[in-house]
Structure formats: structure tokens, C-alpha cells
């Protein structure tokens, strides 16, 4: 079991800590600009992460990607820990289901009840949030974040630094480019180019009922 330091001090970090502790790891504290989790010590931020290297075995990036800025922040930290040779721990919930042949890279997070089918590859620092479903033979590149309830059909490829919002659905065989924001509820049926933002029709107020 490892002494893990969590990078990020918000709500998503709370979920990540729950998984780390279920797996028997010791959470030694939080590296973040701000820490909202008062029961864990705030150890500082990036400089302190280097200075306090002896106090932990590995880190886990627990910054949620709810928009483009979240994914960019995750990328900045990922580049920092690589530059300074800081190891990252993968945290896969014991309540998730991974089929045979699934490859899990360093620093990956898989939340409760996620379902990942045969021979899918998760690159480094990928987030597969609670109840996301990933089909067989998918390739999810580094620093991709899948929000809760995302569905990817088989043979989907998602390139690096892309986020896919809650409950989005991606047809089998489709490729999504790098650095994309796929808005929640999107239904993706064709390949998506790098740097795209997709939005489905939002619900609108139809009438006032009073």
C-alpha cells in the first residue's frame, strides 16, 4: 500500500480519496491552491510537492475537468510531475468492472461502477468517472476525462486532453480529436476534429405554467 498525496482539494478530490482509502492507501495530504477538505492537511502546492518529496510515495491528480480550464489545469500538473520525476498512482475503484485485456496507465482514476470492456487502453492520467461505460478495443489517450454516465461504443478513440461531459454518447468506431470539449448530453455519430467544442440542443422553457 502506498502513501499517496492528492493534487486538488475540491469535491472530485473527495471522491478520489474515498477510492484511495477503499484500496487501503494512506492519504498523507493535499497539494492544492485551496483545500476545502479540512480533515486532510494542506501541504502546499507545486513547489512544496517537490520539497516534500520524501513524505509520499506517489501523487494522484484529482482536479475535476468540468470544462476546458479543468483539463488545462490537469495538463499543467501532469507536465510538472513528469518534469520532476514524481510518480503517479492509479486508483481503480473496487466497485468498477474491468474486463480482460484492459490496460491502465499511470495515474488513472476509475470511479465506482464504471464498466470498461475487453482490450481497451486507458492512457496516463485518464479519468473514467462513476458509471461511465467504455466498450471493447477503445483507445483513450492521456489526460482525457470522461464524466459520469458517458457511453463510448466499441473501437472508439479519444485523443489526449479532451473532456467528455456527463451522459454523452459516442457511436462505435468514432474518433474524437485532441483538446476537444464535448458538452454534456452530446450525441457523437461522426469523427470530431481536434480543438472542437460540441453542444447538443439544450432544453428550453416551453411555456410558463402559472
Residues 165, 159: Cα–Cα separation, whole Å: 15
Is 184 a residue that touches ligand COA (CB under 6 A)? yes
Please state the closest distance from residue 200 (CB atom) to ligand COA, in A.
Answer: 5
What are all long-range contacts of 171-180, with beta carbons under 8 Å and residues at least 24 apart? 172/135, 178/141, 179/71
Binding residues among 58-117 for ligand COA as defined by CB under 6 A: 64, 66-67
Q: Is the dihedral of CA 67, 73, 76, 78 positive or negative?
A: negative
Cβ proximity to ligand COA, 32 vs 43, nearer residue: 32
Please state the closest distance from residue 133 (CB atom) to ligand COA, in A.
Answer: 15
Under 8 Å CB-to-CB from 79, ≥6 apart: which residues? none
Give counts: helices (H), strands (E), the chain.
3, 22
Q: Binder to ligand COA among 10, 105, 148, 173 (CB under 6 A)?
A: 148
Could you tell me if 165 and 149 are in contact, meaning their C-beta atoms sit under 8 angstroms apart?
no
Cβ proximity to ligand COA, 117 vs 186, nearer residue: 186
Measured CA to CA in angstroms, residue 210 lies from 21, 38, 77 at distances of: 49, 44, 50
Q: Binder to ligand COA among 147, 176, 180, 192 (CB under 6 A)?
A: 147
Cβ proximity to ligand COA, 44 vs 148, nearer residue: 148
Q: Binder to ligand COA among 77, 165, 188, 192 (CB under 6 A)?
A: 165
Is 200 a residue that touches ligand COA (CB under 6 A)? yes
Q: Which residues in this chain contact ligand COA in the complex, by CB under 6 A?
A: 64, 66-67, 129, 147-148, 165-166, 181, 183-185, 199-200, 202
Amino acid at each position: 500500500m502506498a502513501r499517496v498525496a492528492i493534487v486538488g482539494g475540491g469535491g472530485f478530490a473527495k471522491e478520489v480519496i474515498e477510492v484511495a482509502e477503499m484500496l487501503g492507501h494512506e492519504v498523507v495530504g493535499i497539494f492544492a491552491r485551496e483545500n476545502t477538505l479540512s480533515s486532510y492537511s494542506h501541504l502546499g502546492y507545486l513547489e512544496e510537492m517537490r520539497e516534500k518529496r520524501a513524505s509520499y510515495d506517489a501523487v494522484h491528480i484529482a482536479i475535476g475537468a468540468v470544462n476546458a480550464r479543468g483539463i488545462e489545469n490537469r495538463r499543467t500538473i501532469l507536465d510538472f510531475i513528469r518534469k520532476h520525476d514524481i510518480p503517479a498512482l492509479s486508483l481503480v475503484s473496487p466497485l468498477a468492472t474491468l474486463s480482460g485485456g484492459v490496460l491502465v496507465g499511470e495515474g488513472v482514476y476509475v470511479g465506482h461502477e464504471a464498466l470498461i470492456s475487453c482490450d481497451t487502453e486507458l492512457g496516463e492520467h485518464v479519468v473514467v468517472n462513476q458509471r461511465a461505460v467504455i466498450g471493447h478495443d477503445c483507445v483513450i489517450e492521456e489526460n482525457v476525462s470522461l464524466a459520469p454516465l458517458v457511453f463510448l461504443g466499441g473501437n472508439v478513440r479519444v485523443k489526449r486532453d479532451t473532456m467528455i461531459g456527463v451522459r454523452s454518447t459516442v457511436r462505435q468506431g468514432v474518433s474524437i480529436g485532441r483538446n476537444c470539449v464535448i458538452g454534456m448530453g452530446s450525441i457523437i455519430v461522426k469523427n470530431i476534429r481536434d480543438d472542437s467544442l460540441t453542444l447538443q440542443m439544450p432544453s428550453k422553457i416551453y411555456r410558463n405554467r402559472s
